[in-house]
Amino acid sequence: MNTQITEVRGSFPRSAFDTAWVRRGALAGLDVLAWTVALGLIIGIRLDFAITEVESASVIRYWIVVGILLIATGYASKFYRGRFLVGSFDEALGLALHVGTVAALALVLSPVIYPGLPRSIPVLVPPVALLLCAATRWLYRAFRDRSSDGVRGEVTNVLVYGAGEAGRQVANLVRTQSDLSFRVVGYLDDNPGKRHLRIQGIPVLGGGLSMADVASERAAQGVIFAVPNASGALIGRVQEQAQHSGLDFFVLPRVNDLIGGKVGATDIRRVEIGDVLGRHQVETDLSAIAGYLTGKRVLITGAGGSIGSELARQVHRFGPTTLIMLDRDESGLHSVQLSVYGRGLLDNPDTVLVDIRDMESLREVFKEHEPQIIFHAAALKHLPMLERFPGEGWKTNVLGTLNLLKLAAEFDVEHFVNISTDKAADATSVLGVTKRTAEQLTAWQAQETKRPYISVRFGNVLGSRGSMLHTFNSQIESGGPITVTHPDVSRYFMTIPEACELVVQAGAIGRPGDVMVLEMGEPVKILDVAKRMIKLSGARSIDIVFTGLRQGEKLHEQLFGDDEQSRSTQHPMIRTVAVPMLDPEQLEEPPRVSQDT
C-alpha cells in the first residue's frame, strides 16, 4: 500500500493572521499618538503655545513626516511586524533605536520640508516620545501579567525556593502557561541579601527554615525547588523541610539538562531519589574532550547497556567521524540507536552484534572500522550471579577485555578507556577480582603501547539496569517488603549522565596505565535510601526486611585499596592510582576469591 505524504501550506487561520496585524497596527498607532502628545507637551511647555502661522504649518508637516517615518521604518525593520515581544527587554533596545532613527531622519529633513519649525522641537520631542512609548509598553506588560494571573480553574499556591535566574523563569512560566495549575505566592532564599527583594511583584519571604510559617501565611500547598545545580544534600534537606511542613515538593533538572538553559513546563516535576543521591556538579573541559573525540572513529562496547548507551549519546554530541556501537544484546542495540539517531532500523554498519569473547568476530569488526578510540563498557556485573558462575565472569570481564586490548594494540588504537568498578579496590568478590584483573591487563598493555590506555573506576550508578533503585521501586509497587542486606551497609552513588561525563573527561586527561577514580561524594546508607524512597512513594506501610550480606559482598565499598596511594589530577572530581601490571602470559585460571567480608 502506497502512503502519500502531502505538505500543507498556509495552515494558519485567517482570523489569527488578521488579529496579529490589528495588534501590530494598534502598536504603531500608539507610537504615533505618543509622538503627538510629546509634540503638544513641548509646544505647551517650551513655547507656551505661542507660535506663528508659519511655525504652525511647519509643526503640522513635522508631525506628518514623523508619522510616516515611524510606520515606514518600523515596517522595513520588522519592528511592527513581530520582531520583538512587546514589553520585553529586547524590545526596549529596539524601541530606542527605532525612535533614534526617526528623530535623526526628521532632523535631517528639517531645513527642506519644515524650515519654519522651532529649533527646540526636533531636539526635545523625541526623548519625551521615547518615554511615552516605553510607558505604554510597560502598562501593556503590567496588564498582560495581571491578566495571566487571573483565575484558571483550580490552582495550587506554591513557593519557589531560590530567587535566582531559574526561580524567576519558574515564576514567569507559571504565570504565562495556562496548563500549569500553579500560582507563585512567594520566594524562599537563604541569602540574607534578598530578604526584602520583590521580583515582578512577588516577594522573597524568608529562608528555608521559615518554610512552614510562610506556607501557612500564604496558604501555599507546595514548593518548587529552583536551584538547578544544587547538591543532593541541599535537595534532601529542603525536601525534608517541605515534608515536615506538609507541602508537595517539585524540582528542576540540572542546568546542563535544561534545553538552552531555559526552564520549560515539562521541567517542573516531583522529586526523585536520584535528585537526592546523585546531584554532583560536573565541570567539563569541553575543548579537551572535543580535541580527542571530534572527527575520530569511536568504538563503544556494551553500547546497549546503561553506561554504554549514555556514553554513546554523549560521545555522539562531539561529532566523531564514526560511532561504532557494539553489543551482544540486539534489543539493547535497538534502544541505543533509537536514542542516539532517532531511528532503530539496525540496518547500518555502525551497530555491531558481537560478543567480546569471540576474538575472530572482534577482529573482523576492527578490520572493517579501524577504531581510533575505544570505550570498553561491556561486562558482567551482577555480584551474586558471578559468585555462582565465576567462570562466566572470567570469560567476559577478563578474557573479553584482553581480546579488546590485544586488538587495540594490533590496530594502533589511540585511546582505550576500560570501565571498572569500586569493587576492584581490595576485591572480595568475583566481580571485583575480574575487574581488578582487567585494570592490571590494561595497565600492562599501556606500558607496551606507550598510549593512554586507562581504566576508570566508580561506584553505583543510579538507574542502571538491575540496580538497587529498580528493585526497591518494584518492591514498593507490589506493596513490599523492601529487602536490604544489612542495616549498616553503605554505597557510593552517582547518576549515569554524571558518571559518563567524567568517564569521557578522564579519557582526555589520563596517562598510560592510570586508573582514574571518580569522586563520588559521601557514601550513603542503603537503609536511608529505602526509607526515603518509601516516603517519596507516599506509601504508609512498607516493611523493610534485612536479608544478610551476600557472598563476596562488602559492608562498605571503597574507591581506593588499602595499598593504593591516590593522586590528584587536573580535574577536581577525578583522582588517579597506579595498579600492578599483569602480563597476559601469567593468566592461567581464575584466581580464588577470599570470602571474608
Task: Just list the catalytic residues.
Answer: 423
Beta strands across the sheet bearing 156-161: 182-188, 156-161, 222-225, 248-251, 269-270
Distance CA 160, CA 179 (A): 18
Distance CA 231, CA 243 (A): 18
Instruction: Report the residue count for the chain.
Output: 597
Residue 379, CA distances (Å) to 206, 226, 262, 376, 401 in order: 50, 38, 37, 8, 9
Sign of CA dihedral 460, 461, 464, 467: positive
Residue 26, CA distances (Å) to 31, 137, 139, 289, 404 in order: 9, 12, 14, 52, 70
> Interior CA angle at 537 toward 531 and 543, to 5°?
45
Q: Is 147 exposed, middle or buried (0-12, 13-18, 19+ CB in 10 A)?
A: exposed
Distance CA 425, CA 461 (A): 17
C-alpha cell at 451: 598510549
Q: Is 93 exposed, middle or buried (0-12, 13-18, 19+ CB in 10 A)?
A: exposed
**Region for residue 350 given its phi and psi (left: phi exceeds 0; alpha: psi -120 to 50; beta: otherwise):** alpha
**How many CB atoms are closer than 10 A to CB 242?**
23
3-state secondary structure (DSSP) of residue 394: helix
Distance CA 240, CA 415 (A): 45
Cis ω on the peptide bond leading into residue 127 (within 30° of 0)? no
Beta bridge partners of 518: 574
Element (H, E) at 291: helix 286-293
